Chain A
Amino acid sequence: AQKVTQAQTEISVVEKEDVTLDCVYETRDTTYYLFWYKQPPSGELVFLIRRNSFDEQNEISGRYSWNFQKSTSSFNFTITASQVVDSAVYFCALSLMNRDDKIIFGKGTRLHILP
């Protein structure tokens, strides 16, 4: 069975600090996709990134970066120089390639950026 674990339930950091959100996934499939979504206080989930299992290159987008390591089944998300607007719940998720269209979500990490 597939599973996504976000061990950090809640994190608080002071603005401008860097913060890393951990994500560990489990699947016996060798081909899959990984996602991160953001859920701000307004409630709507916002897509951030998708990676496929063939591509372990790290991704950087502005202050956001993602570290994908198949060896440890991890797909961690780092926010550099955090800002108050980054406060949200962040979900890591997994879907299986060429199987179906389900996305299995982790329980989420609630991130508080303190001014």
Chain B
Amino acid sequence: DAGVIQSPRHEVTEMGQEVTLRCKPISGHNSLFWYRQTMMRGLELLIYFNNNVPIDDSGMPEDRFSAKMPNASFSTLKIQPSEPRDSAVYFCASSRYRTSGSGNEQFFGPGTRLTVL
């Protein structure tokens, strides 16, 4: 079975450019999570969706960040305009949602390493 798929795996861009990260969750999973990992701050939850609906975006750092989930098999995280401090590894994870707070384990993608020059 395919795991969570993320693209691109590496992205190098210049400050001010728009960046779009993509995620395909595991088939049948209906919760999707976007995380950011840096040395300084560790692993931070940015936003998560249940059944394609954004549930909590309190971790999104600022308005430059936006996420969408147009259907059950695809999500994007967009940064516009990008800044050097956005450099990090961005992970997408999915899980099987039943009810809120049921502690379902999340399955992570390989991540996208973003470098903003």
Residues of chain B contacted by A95 (CB below 8 angstroms): 101, 103
Contact: A44 with B109, CB < 8 Å? yes
Cβ–Cβ < 8 Å partners of B107 in chain A:
47
Q: Which of B54-84 contact A (CB under 8 A)?
A: 55-56
Question: What is the chain B residue whose CB lies nearest that of A95?
Answer: B103
- B-side interface residues, number (CB < 8 Å): 27
By DSSP majority rule, is chain B's interface helix, strand, loop, or mixed? strand
What is the bound-complex CA distance between A92 and B31, given in angstroms? 21
Q: In the docked arrangement, what's the CA distance between A96 and B104, Å? A: 11
Q: Is the CB of A99 within 8 A of B106?
A: no
CA distance A52 to B40 in the complex (A): 29
Chain B proximity mask over A32-47: 1 for CB below 8 Å, otherwise 0:
1101010000111111
Q: Which of A42, A50, A106, A107 contacts B105 (CB 8 A)?
A: A50
B34 within 8 A of A: no
Please name 16 further chain A to chain B contacts, defined as beta carbons within 8 Å, in addition to the given A98-B102, A101-B55, A106-B42, sorted by A numbering.
A32-B103, A33-B103, A42-B110, A46-B108, A50-B103, A52-B103, A91-B43, A97-B103, A99-B100, A100-B56, A101-B100, A101-B101, A101-B102, A105-B42, A105-B43, A108-B42
A28 at the interface (CB under 8 A from B): no
Contact partner of A44 (CB less than 8 A), chosen from B55, B104, B110, is B110
On chain A, the residues within 8 Å of B95 by CB distance are 101
In the complex where A42-B110, A45-B91 touch, is A101 in contact with B105 (Cβ < 8 A)? no
Contact A103 B42 (CB under 8 A): no
Q: Which residue on chain B has the smallest CB distance to residue A53?
A: B103
CA–CA, A57 and B42, complex, Å: 29
Q: How far is the CA of A99 from the CA of B42 in the complex (A)?
A: 23
Instruction: Give A33 Cβ to nearest chain B Cβ, in Å.
Output: 3
